[in-house]
C-alpha cells in the first residue's frame, strides 16, 4: 500500500488506479446541469467503476503529478470520479504538489452589486462558479467589505453586529468559516499578497477611538495566524498596497488629519524596516477628493496605476520616481471616483472590470451597459495598450464591483 493510499484509507480492490485514470479522461468530459456553474459537482454523485482491464496501471503518485498540472478550474470534475478522487481533492494534496513544482494559476473572486453570491472565475472568464453562501449576519452582508487572498484562502473583512470579523473561504474545502482576527482590526487599509502570505497596513482602527493606523501585519495561510510587522513611517487610511521587487508597497491615502499623502513607502523584509518614497504621486498624479484608494496592479514587477478622474493608465518609472501615460482604459472609472472598479494583475496581464459608457480605441465615448471585462498584455515602453474585451454572456450584469481579489494557486 502506498503512502497516499494509507493516508486516506484507500482500497485498491474497489478503486484501482486504472479505474481512476479511465474515469477521469472519459468522465471529465460529461457536462453538468447545475445552473450555478459552468461545470459543477454539487449535485452529481461520484462514480466507482473498474476499467482495470482496459487502461494501463498508473501509480497513485504519478496520477497526482498529472492532475496537479491540470487547470485548477477543472478540479470540480474530480468529485465525479470516485470517493478516492474526492478525498484527494479535499485533502489539499494537489495544491501542495502544485506549490512544490511551481504551477501557478490565477483565479478571480468577485462580488458585484446586487449579488448574494461570490463568484470565482478562471483567468479567461469562461468558467464561472458561485461560491457557497457566506453565512454572515445581515449587517455584514449589507456593509462595506474588503477582500484579499493568501494561498488558497480568500479573506473578507467587515462588520457584523458583534463587531469586526474576517470570513475565510477555503478553496480546498469549498466552504466559509470564521477566520483569525487581525491583531489590530481595521478598515480602509492597504493589502497585497505573495504566495501563501498576505500583507495589510494602515487603515482606520475599529476600536473606540477610530484612529488612523500606521501598523502593519502579515497573514500566514499555513498557520492561519497574523504576525505583527514594524510600523510604517506614516499613518494612512484610504491607501493602496502592492507587492513588487520582493517588497510590500503602500501608496497614497490620507493621514490622521485628513491630508492627502503624496508619498509612498515599502517594507523590506530582509532589513525588517520601512523606507519612505517622497512625492511618489505628487509629480504626475492629481489627487481628487472623495475618491477610492489608488487603483494599482503589478505585472512583471512593473507598477501600473489607473487614475480614476481621467481614466488614464500610467506606469511607474522607478528610476525617475515619475509616471508615464499609456492611454485610457476602456471603462469609466471616473463615474464613481474609482469606486466599483476592479483593476488587478492577472498573471502576465492587466485586468479591469467596470461598466457604463466606455472608450473605444479612438478615445471617443461609446455607450455600454452592464459589466464589462477587459484584459491586456502591458508594455511599459508602449505608447498605448491594446485591450481585449471578454465575452461573459449572461453572467452577472451589474457594472459595480463591490469586491474583487485574485488568488494564485
The pLDDT value given to residue 398 = 86
Residues 6+ apart with CB under 8 A from 342: 110, 351, 352, 353, 354, 401, 404
How much is the average pLDDT of 13-18?
A: 37
At 370, the pLDDT band (50, 70, 90 cuts) reads confident
- Lowest-pLDDT range, 24-28, 159-163, 310-314? 24-28
Per-residue pLDDT of 316-365, as tens digits, reads 999 999 999 999 999 999 988 999 999 999 999 999 999 855 444 433 33
The pLDDT value given to residue 49 = 52
Top pLDDT among 40 and 84 is at 84
How much is the average pLDDT of 26-41?
A: 43
How many C-beta atoms lie closer than 10 Å to residue 9's C-beta? 9
The pLDDT value given to residue 12 = 33
The pLDDT value given to residue 73 = 86
CATH number belonging to domain 134-282: 2.120.10.80
What's this model's pTM, rounded to 2 decimal places?
0.84
* pLDDT at position 206 over 60: yes
**C-alpha grid cell for residue 70?**
491540470
CA distance 370 to 400: 8
* pLDDT at position 31 over 70: no
Give percent above pLDDT 70 in the chain.
80
| Site of grid cell 485610457 | 328
CA distances in angstroms from 66 to 5, 61, 69, listed in the order given: 17, 9, 6
How much is the average pLDDT of 134-141?
A: 96
At 36, the pLDDT band (50, 70, 90 cuts) reads low
Average pLDDT, the chain: 85
- Lowest-pLDDT range, 200-204, 221-225, 390-394, 395-399? 395-399
Top pLDDT among 294 and 19 is at 294
| Site of grid cell 478503486 | 15
CA distance 169 to 152: 8
* pLDDT at position 2 over 80: no
* pLDDT at position 4 over 60: no
- Lowest-pLDDT range, 61-70, 73-82, 130-139? 73-82
* pLDDT at position 52 over 70: no
**Could you tell me the end-to-end alpha-carbon distance of the chain, in angstroms, rounded to an integer?**
30
How much is the average pLDDT of 5-26?
A: 37
The pLDDT value given to residue 300 = 97
CA distance 392 to 225: 37
Residue 27: in which H helix or E strand, if any?
Answer: helix 17-27
Domain range list for the chain:
3-101, 105-132+283-404, 134-282
* pLDDT at position 269 over 90: yes
- Lowest-pLDDT range, 5-14, 157-166, 248-257, 379-388? 5-14
Amino acid at each position: 500500500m502506498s503512502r497516499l493510499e494509507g493516508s486516506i484509507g484507500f482500497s485498491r480492490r474497489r478503486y484501482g488506479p486504472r479505474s481512476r485514470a479511465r474515469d477521469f479522461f472519459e468522465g471529465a468530459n460529461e457536462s453538468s446541469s447545475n445552473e450555478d456553474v459552468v461545470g459543477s459537482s454539487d449535485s452529481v454523485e461520484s462514480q466507482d467503476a473498474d476499467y482495470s482491464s482496459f487502461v494501463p496501471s498508473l501509480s497513485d503518485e504519478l496520477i497526482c503529478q498529472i492532475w496537479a498540472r491540470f487547470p485548477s478550474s477543472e478540479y470540480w470534475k474530480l468529485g465525479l470520479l470516485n470517493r478516492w478522487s474526492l478525498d484527494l481533492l479535499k485533502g489539499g494534496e494537489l495544491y501542495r504538489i502544485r506549490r512544490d513544482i511551481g504551477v501557478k494559476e490565477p483565479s478571480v473572486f468577485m462580488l458585484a452589486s446586487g449579488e448574494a453570491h461570490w463568484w470565482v472565475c478562471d483567468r479567461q472568464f469562461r468558467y464561472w462558479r458561485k461560491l457557497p453562501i457566506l453565512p454572515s449576519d445581515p449587517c455584514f452582508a449589507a456593509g462595506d467589505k474588503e477582500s484579499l487572498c493568501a494561498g488558497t484562502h480568500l479573506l473578507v473583512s467587515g462588520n457584523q453586529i458583534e463587531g469586526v470579523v474576517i470570513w475565510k473561504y477555503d478553496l480546498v474545502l469549498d466552504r466559509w468559516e470564521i477566520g483569525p482576527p487581525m491583531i489590530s482590526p481595521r478598515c480602509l487599509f492597504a493589502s497585497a499578497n505573495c504566495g501563501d502570505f498576505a500583507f495589510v497596513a494602515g487603515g482606520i482602527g475599529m476600536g473606540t477611538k477610530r484612529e488612523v493606523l500606521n501598523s502593519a501585519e502579515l497573514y500566514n495561510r499555513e498557520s492561519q495566524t497574523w504576525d505583527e510587522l514594524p510600523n510604517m513611517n506614516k499613518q494612512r487610511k484610504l491607501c493602496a498596497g502592492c507587492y513588487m521587487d520582493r517588497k510590500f508597497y503602500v501608496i497614497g491615502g490620507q493621514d490622521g488629519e485628513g491630508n492627502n499623502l503624496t508619498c509612498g513607502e515599502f517594507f523590506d523584509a530582509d532589513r525588517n524596516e520601512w523606507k519612505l518614497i517622497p512625492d511618489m504621486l505628487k509629480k504626475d498624479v492629481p489627487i481628487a477628493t472623495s475618491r477610492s484608494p489608488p487603483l494599482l496592479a503589478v505585472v512583471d514587477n512593473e507598477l501600473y496605476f489607473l487614475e480614476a478622474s481621467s481614466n488614464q493608465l500610467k506606469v511607474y518609472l522607478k528610476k525617475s520616481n515619475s509616471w508615464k501615460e499609456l492611454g485610457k482604459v476602456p471603462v469609466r472609472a471616473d463615474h464613481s471616483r474609482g469606486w466599483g472598479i476592479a483593476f488587478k494583475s492577472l498573471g502576465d496581464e492587466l485586468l479591469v472590470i467596470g461598466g457604463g459608457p466606455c472608450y473605444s480605441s479612438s478615445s471617443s465615448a461609446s455607450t455600454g451597459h452592464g459589466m464589462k471585462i477587459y484584459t491586456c498584455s502591458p508594455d511599459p515602453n508602449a505608447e498605448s495598450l491594446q485591450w481585449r474585451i471578454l465575452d461573459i454572456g449572461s453572467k452577472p450584469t451589474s457594472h459595480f464591483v463591490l469586491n474583487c481579489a485574485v488568488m494564485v494557486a
